Amino acid sequence: MSNPIPPNPEPKPSYVKLAMRNMVSKGGVSLQHFFLTAIGILGFLIGVSYLTR
Give the model confidence (pLDDT) of 8-48 as tens digits: 677 787 898 888 888 788 878 878 888 999 999 999 999 99
Has residue 7 got a pLDDT over 70? no
Q: Specify if 6 maps to a domain.
A: no
Q: Residue 1: its pLDDT value, please? A: 55
Q: Residue 46: its pLDDT value, please? A: 97
Q: Specify if 9 maps to a domain.
A: no
Q: Specify if 35 maps to a domain.
A: yes
Q: Specify if 21 maps to a domain.
A: yes
In this prediction, residue 3 has a pLDDT band, given cuts at 50, 70 and 90, of low
Number of structural domains found in the chain: 1
What is the domain extent for residue 43? 15-51
Q: Specify if 8 maps to a domain.
A: no
Rounded Cα distance, 37 and 31, in Å = 10
Q: Specify if 1 maps to a domain.
A: no
Q: Residue 44: its pLDDT value, please? A: 98
52: buried, middle or exposed (CB in 10 Å: 19+, 13-18, 0-12)?
Answer: exposed
Q: Specify if 2 maps to a domain.
A: no
